[in-house]
């Protein structure tokens, strides 16, 4: 069974973020990047399938040279191979364009199961997983907190509003978008890191994947007009008194706002 994991490299959660000069994205120079936290759970879920059977785990990412670090981390955690779509034309691709690129890789790989994170820490769009599934004409489930695999299908638990759970069974091939907290993500061990040195990373361009004419920033349907930091408000109210008095006041305020 071939399992593909899509991962995105995003700014490190502790990075100091500044808007770039034309106000359309953040300044990416001199900041640290890491694997999108949702995607780390997707990697872990795929590696558990590998641990349980004979799955081959292929990790895929789109981005410049720095993305190699994210792919190497996934290889260090235990993934078998990596595909790095490194093409200047892919930079700044919108969700649909990105989905087309990932779908092209999945088609080439012949993936039986595709894991993604539910969303990305940086743009919070949640758009790409269902788009990839749609482009590949395969079923998908989002917000997945548990998986149970069998020969022909995967049974998943999905998180619904209000803490309710839904159980869905999807025939393979299918796409599963994992929610954070679905599992305990492993660390890349030193042994894994050293073994990852020898694991292959295939570098692809949009032309290699046959999507140069349909994906990439030149074909975007959505563009980012502006990124900005919200102005600081002056409506904060400081509650004073003993701890008990503050708690009573706080509960009153919450009730006043109709939140309780």
Q: Is 73 in the site for another protein (CB under 8 A)?
A: yes
Residue among 193, 208, 212, 249 that touches another protein (CB under 8 A): 193
Q: Is 36 in the site for another protein (CB under 8 A)?
A: no
Q: Is 183 in the site for another protein (CB under 8 A)?
A: no
Q: What are phi and psi of 141, to 5 degrees?
A: -135, 140
Pick the closer one to another protein by CB: 76 or 173: 76
Which candidate, 245, 224, 244, 200, places its Cα nearest to that of 91? 224
Q: Is 247 in the site for another protein (CB under 8 A)?
A: no
* Spatial contact of 210 and 177, defined as CB atoms under 8 Å apart: no
Please choose, out of 46-54, 118-126, 187-195, 233-241, the segment that lies near another protein by the rule CB under 8 A: 187-195
Pick the closer one to another protein by CB: 27 or 69: 69
Q: How many residues bind another protein (CB under 8 A)?
A: 15
Query: CB of 23: closest distance to another protein in angstroms?
Result: 23
**How many other C-beta atoms lie within 10 A of the C-beta of residue 192?**
17
Query: CB of 75: closest distance to another protein in angstroms?
Result: 9
Q: Is 8 in the site for another protein (CB under 8 A)?
A: no
Q: Is 190 in the site for another protein (CB under 8 A)?
A: yes
Q: Is 198 in the site for another protein (CB under 8 A)?
A: no
Pick the closer one to another protein by CB: 25 or 187: 187
Q: Is 68 in the site for another protein (CB under 8 A)?
A: yes
Query: CB of 16: closest distance to another protein in angstroms?
Result: 10
Mention every residue, 6+ apart, whose C-beta is less than 8 A from residue 194. none
Query: CB of 188: closest distance to another protein in angstroms?
Result: 5
* Spatial contact of 229 and 20, defined as CB atoms under 8 Å apart: no
Query: CB of 98: closest distance to another protein in angstroms?
Result: 24
Pick the closer one to another protein by CB: 194 or 207: 194
Q: Is 34 in the site for another protein (CB under 8 A)?
A: yes
Pick the closer one to another protein by CB: 14 or 256: 14
Q: Is 191 in the site for another protein (CB under 8 A)?
A: yes
Residues engaged in binding another protein (CB under 8 A): 34, 68-69, 72-73, 76, 187-191, 193-194, 196-197
């Amino acid at each position: 069974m071939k399992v593909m994991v899509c991962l995105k490299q995003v700014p490190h959660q502790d990075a100091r973020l500044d808007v770039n000069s034309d106000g359309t994205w953040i300044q990416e120079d001199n900041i640290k990047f890491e694997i999108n936290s949702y995607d780390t759970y997707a990697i872990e879920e795929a590696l558990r399938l590998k641990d349980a059977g004979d799955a081959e785990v292929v990790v895929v990412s789109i981005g410049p040279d720095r993305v190699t670090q994210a792919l190497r981390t996934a290889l260090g955690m235990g993934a078998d191979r990596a595909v790095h779509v490194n093409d200047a034309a892919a930079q700044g691709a919108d969700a649909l364009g990105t989905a087309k690129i990932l779908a092209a890789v999945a088609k080439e790989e012949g993936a039986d199961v595709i894991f993604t994170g539910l969303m990305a820490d940086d743009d919070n769009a949640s758009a790409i997983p269902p788009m990839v599934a749609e482009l590949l004409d395969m079923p998908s489930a989002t917000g997945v907190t548990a998986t149970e695999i069998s020969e022909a299908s995967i049974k998943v638990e999905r998180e619904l509003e209000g803490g309710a759970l839904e159980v869905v069974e999807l025939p393979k091939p299918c796409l599963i978008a994992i929610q954070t907290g679905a599992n305990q993500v492993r660390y890349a061990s030193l042994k894994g890191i050293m073994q990852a040195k020898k694991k292959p990373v295939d570098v692809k361009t949009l032309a290699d994947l046959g999507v140069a004419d349909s994906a990439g920033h030149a074909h975007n349907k959505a563009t980012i007009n502006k990124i900005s930091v919200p102005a600081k408000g002056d409506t904060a109210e400081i509650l004073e008194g003993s701890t008990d008095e503050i708690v009573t006041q706080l509960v009153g305020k919450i009730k006043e706002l109709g939140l309780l």
